[in-house]
Amino acid sequence: MLQAAVGTVLAATAGAGVWAWRSPDTSRPASPAREQESAEEPDDQVFLHVIAHPDDGLFFMNPGLEQAIRSGARTVTVCLTGGESDGRNAPRGSALHHRVIPDRPAFARARVNGLLAAHAQMATGDPESTWDAEARTLLRGFQVEVQTLRAAPQHQLVFVELVEARAVYQPRAVSLRGLWLGVVDSIPTLRPEGSPVQRQFRYTRDQVTDTLTAVLDWVRPTVVRTLDPNAVHSGKRPLSTPDPRLAGLRYFDHQDHTASAHFTQAALARYWGQGSPAPTVVENYLGYELGVLPGDLDPSTVRRKAGTLDIYGWADHRRCADPAGCGDLKVGGSALNGSPRSWTRSTRLRAPGSNAWVRPARDGRLTAFAVRGGAAYGWAETRAGSGRFGAPHRIGGDLLQGQLHVVRHPDGTLQLFGSRTVLPAPGVDHHRELVTARQNGTGPDGVPAFGEWESLGSPERDPVRTLEIGFPAAVAAPDGTVHVFVRTWDGGIGHRSGPHGAQWSPWGLLEGPAGVGTLKASPQIVDGIDACVDAGGLIHVVAPSVRTVQHWVSKEPGETPRPGAATGLPEPGGPISIAPLAGGVVRIAYRQSQTARVLIAERRRAIGSWRVSGQCERAGGYGRVALAPAGSGDRMVLAARDDAGDVRVAMAQAAPKPWQRCRLAHSAAAGVAHDAAGRAVLVALGNDGRLYAARQAKAGQTAPFLGWRGQTGRPERTGDASG
């Protein structure tokens, strides 16, 4: 049994967290005087990061990557390609670039050296901290380069050294993408200069998957982080090539990023199928698409992220003993450019998180649902209002991705909605689809039991297009009709409905909002939608776009929503969460772009227009802000990730109260609700794969949250719905 964290979460504060404290921002309030001890133990967390090129984790996974490293937990990063590019280690666009003689093995080694320095800096504060290199066999007949940080041996880097595509989107048969699509039977490695691996290898598609499966079995991670498996198309002219398997849509992201994520998904499916020792949480990070989306990080986090990239990029031209070079000069000094839409200024998860993964069951007990090991799991309070959750119960599902969205029917029963990836197989196209499972009973410990998972398909018929659909948001209208919404591949909103969550209508599209601008052919709607039913029975849908918040609302109770008037709200830097209040009022919470500040906006039914009604004290962070009613009237509770990767929680009424910091590194978005006694409850899925909960000492706007309590008991398998 996990022990309850002792004490009360520190008094209300918006002080910067440890991560940002190391690069202070004088515009912020002072750091808190005292802090709660984290409920997690570093030894219970193991992180595996799978990237395509040496700088991918620094650009796309930070600040989460550094927070994992600094936690003291075991962290392993696997780089699949050598990242040899054109072999010229010189700044792009400089006069020197074309005068440098191409040397791909040397440039690959320079990038390895830069990554070693950046990771050493994150782990120890010393970029010159010593690494020990070895050639290791993970898959019989093959060797990879493994680097272990001597001062922190729980931190390792693995280099598989496969050749890279050497182009962002131009078709290349000899590439990870070509191998994934079956265009070539194998691809070679490119041995970086000075590698302890003494010869070249050739990998088939199965051997790449088997290698990653072997890494999973060796590391036994609790959290796996990959690049984006669901890249978004750019709208530019499709690719043409003599081989139709390489033709098709052009994407914002690098083809190596996408293929590396696909191989990781295949390895995870194989690993889980072998009966992995513990369920794994998976997070997927956006890549080059960040360059056309609003920046979502606060300035101090951006500066720190850029500083680490400059170490990797050898911007200080520090001396080193390796003639190949100490870093990647294509990056050094240019990580922080003037564009508000650059890779350095954002960190986004492909799955935007759910604002509806904790809900009361029919008997008043709070229940929570999450994806671990590709399957759905459920937890229930030991009794209504106890604030303590029992052991997780496996509900089932197969290759589920992201967080689950839970709908509560008028009769108190629950229904789960999620997104599932179907990997390619003989006679089966690679595609994604929405799935749902309805409650059909209750287990002896109060965890709802569910029937078989049902496919809801996709608003897209083309399997390739289905890979770009978003993640579902759903509501139950007062008459029992369930409505489900999802972002489509071209930036619209798809919609299906069914009485009592069954007998579904065909997929349709919501009417598009008027006057939506686009930026460099980016989609109109960015994923991160949410939906609710207001006190009058009207259905609301909200979504972020590249300029503002979009809003749909039904004209009569239960009707399909139609575009509302332009909100005029500030540009969002991430997902939107919505919750209903009394009198037909609805409130939303989201992060403003470029500042990460949490804004609260509301729409009054009588007026029909939106206004920003409050803003929270600065806390940094990124991702979805959880939002839910907290009792009667207009009381609300919010939760968000801060710049240290921990959870912040605040009550709000006319205006938000100060943040309380709850130290817990966690996956995806936190969840909030109120319990049977009217107390606000905060839940989060820790990076150890366990559920944690914190509740108020008593109901009310000023009552503090007590310390985290971990789940009790051992996992059980019950109420298993087939996938």
For the segment 265-285, what is each residue's pLDDT rounded down to a tens digit? Answer: 999 999 999 987 778 999 999
In a domain, 435, yes or no: yes
Tokens, residue 532: 């609710």
pLDDT of residue 721: 40
Q: How much is the mean pLDDT over the chain?
A: 90
Question: Per residue in 529-565, pLDDT tens?
Answer: 999 999 999 999 999 998 999 999 999 999 999 999 9
Distance CA 194, CA 161 (A): 12
Domain check: are 59 and 147 in the same one? yes
Burial of 364 (0-12, 13-18, 19+ CB in 10 A): middle
Residue with tokens 């182009």: 167
Distance CA 226, CA 266 (A): 12
H-helix or E-strand spanning residue 554: none
Distance CA 136, CA 215 (A): 11
Which parts of the chain sit beneath pLDDT 50?
A: 1-35, 515-523, 715-723
Residue with tokens 């948001």: 473
Distance CA 489, CA 393 (A): 34
Domain boundary among 267, 290, 313: 290
In a domain, 450, yes or no: yes
* Ramachandran category for residue 194: left, alpha or beta (phi over 0 → left; psi -120 to 50 → alpha): left
Domain check: are 250 and 390 in the same one? no
pLDDT of residue 379: 97
Task: Find all residues with CB under 8 Å of 678, minimum gap 6, and list them.
Answer: 630, 631, 699
Q: Is the dihedral of CA 436, 442, 447, 452 positive or negative?
A: negative
- Given a contact cutoff of 8 angstroms between Cβ atoms, the answer to whether 285 and 225 are in contact is yes
Distance CA 290, CA 59 (A): 10
pLDDT of residue 116: 98
Nearest to 378 by CA among 718, 722, 2, 3: 718
In a domain, 590, yes or no: no
In a domain, 702, yes or no: yes
Domain check: are 377 and 265 in the same one? no
Tokens, residue 90: 């010189």
Domain check: are 261 and 389 in the same one? no
Domain boundary among 290, 305, 321: 290
Distance CA 54, CA 116 (A): 10
The CATH code of the domain that includes 370 is 2.120.10.10
The phi and psi torsions of 199 (rounded to 5 degrees) equal -150, 170
In a domain, 704, yes or no: yes
H-helix or E-strand spanning residue 300: helix 299-312
In a domain, 463, yes or no: yes
Domain check: are 32 and 50 in the same one? no
The CATH code of the domain that includes 148 is 3.40.50
Domain check: are 33 and 64 in the same one? no
The phi and psi torsions of 711 (rounded to 5 degrees) equal -55, 155
pTM above 0.85, yes or no: yes
* Number of structural domains the chain divides into: 3
pLDDT of residue 277: 74
Angle at the Cα of 288 from the Cα atoms of 80 and 279, rounded to 5 degrees: 55
Domain check: are 244 and 370 in the same one? no
Domain check: are 366 and 283 in the same one? no
Task: Find all residues with CB under 8 Å of 89, minimum gap 6, and list them.
Answer: 100, 103, 106, 107, 110, 325, 328, 329, 330
pLDDT of residue 514: 52
H-helix or E-strand spanning residue 177: helix 176-180
Range(s) of the domain holding residue 136 = 42-290
- Tell me what percent of the chain is helix, strand and coil, each rounded to the nearest 5: 15, 30, 50
327: amino acid identity, one letter: G
H-helix or E-strand spanning residue 119: helix 104-124
* Ramachandran category for residue 93: left, alpha or beta (phi over 0 → left; psi -120 to 50 → alpha): left
pLDDT of residue 37: 59
- Given a contact cutoff of 8 angstroms between Cβ atoms, the answer to whether 332 and 312 are in contact is yes
Nearest to 693 by CA among 385, 264, 478: 385
Domain boundary among 290, 310, 342: 290
**E runs forming strands in 373-457:** 375-380, 393-396, 400-408, 414-422, 431-442, 448-450, 454-457
Tokens, residue 122: 């994150």
The 10 Å Cβ neighbour count of residue 239 is 14
Question: Per residue in 367-420, pLDDT tens?
Answer: 999 999 999 999 999 999 998 999 999 999 999 999 999 999 999 999 999 999
Domain check: are 219 and 121 in the same one? yes
In a domain, 607, yes or no: no
Nearest to 637 by CA among 675, 585, 610, 594: 675
Determine the 3-state secondary structure of 138 from DSSP.
coil
Determine the 3-state secondary structure of 172 from DSSP.
coil
Tokens, residue 303: 């500066």
- Given a contact cutoff of 8 angstroms between Cβ atoms, the answer to whether 20 and 6 are in contact is no
In a domain, 344, yes or no: no
pLDDT of residue 6: 29
pLDDT of residue 606: 77
Distance CA 186, CA 278 (A): 32
Domain check: are 284 and 424 in the same one? no
Distance CA 335, CA 355 (A): 33
Task: Find all residues with CB under 8 Å of 244, minimum gap 6, and list them.
Answer: none
Domain check: are 158 and 200 in the same one? yes
Please state whether beta strands 46-51 and 74-81 pair in parallel, antiparallel, or not at all (unpaired).
parallel
Angle at the Cα of 51 from the Cα atoms of 427 and 237, rounded to 5 degrees: 60
Domain check: are 149 and 274 in the same one? yes
Distance CA 66, CA 51 (A): 15
Q: Is the dihedral of CA 292, 295, 296, 301 positive or negative?
A: positive
